[in-house]
Structure 1
């Protein structure tokens, strides 16, 4: 079952790009969050999406939001991906797609490709927007518009 607008996001813990433990409760309730699930590091669409979030990262910070990217790649893969493209935001490893399953992120292409879904979450942990599209270019502007409307 997919999470929808009005639902609270689940609590989760995993590792970040540095291999350190990250618990969502460290940011939940303190600021708005943009949590985007993407298929894989270093693929053309995912790189385009990550670089769009990077290029507008200051805008997200100015709106009081933190950006978090999540995929099934390892912390080591995320570390290389973040370094290669100077990604300033949090990347989380979702081993076994546990977090993806908690959020109910669907798969695409007959279940072969992990889905691409972005959630905008208010500072109380409640989902304000869910954007499900394999078009990587649309996620960052969509999230930014939702945050601006929340202000």
Structure 2
């Protein structure tokens, strides 16, 4: 009986692991559409930008924590580097909208912080981990295709790195 139970547990674990492995997003995949509330009170959907703008979606674990504060301030203080491109950039977390609104105010974020308190979008992007989001940044082209996933985000250099990657990915430069 114990042997059968252990075999069932092993098989279930293997099936769950294989489903997770196949569910992982990769470069070339269509980005999952999302609709999330922003720190500015507006609602944002990926589909709103299709055919118009590239989108950069930077997931972060938790508002008001050290690394996330550093990353958000990097984007707020160096947003001029990002605004050179025809791209909408967001930070996103599983925090409540009210927390992200206060966090955006505290860090002087001049861009939307998106909230996914139920974690459904984080799950779709395969960044969910124990109720938080992993610090991964998705670069999505105008067709909705994922063209890069940065899993090694450096919070203090986040804006500089985003600008470098947008240039490397040939994101359209906004003309003056």
Length-normalised TM-score, structure 1: 0.87
Determine which structure has more spread, i.e. the larger CA radius of gyration. Answer: 2
Partners in 1 of 2:40 and 2:110 — Cα distance? 13
What does residue 169 of structure 2 align with? 150
Classify the secondary structure of the residue corresponding to 2:28: coil
| Structure having the larger proportion of residues in strand | 1
Partners in 1 of 2:80 and 2:154 — Cα distance? 23
What does residue 51 of structure 1 align with? 73
Q: What is the Cα-based RMSD across aligned positions, in Å?
A: 1.9
Length-normalised TM-score, structure 2: 0.76
Higher relative contact order (CA 8 A, sep 6+): 1
Q: Report how many aligned residue pairs link the two structures.
A: 148
Classify the secondary structure of the residue corresponding to 2:32: coil
What does residue 46 of structure 2 align with? 24
Q: 1:141 deviation in Å?
A: 3.2
Contact 2:31–2:145 (8 Å) recurs in 1:
yes
Partners in 2 of 1:99 and 1:42 — Cα distance? 21
112 and 16 in structure 1: CA distance in 2 versus 1, 3 angstrom threshold: closer
Partners in 2 of 1:67 and 1:88 — Cα distance? 10
Contact 1:37–1:69 (8 Å) recurs in 2:
yes
112 and 100 in structure 1: CA distance in 2 versus 1, 3 angstrom threshold: closer
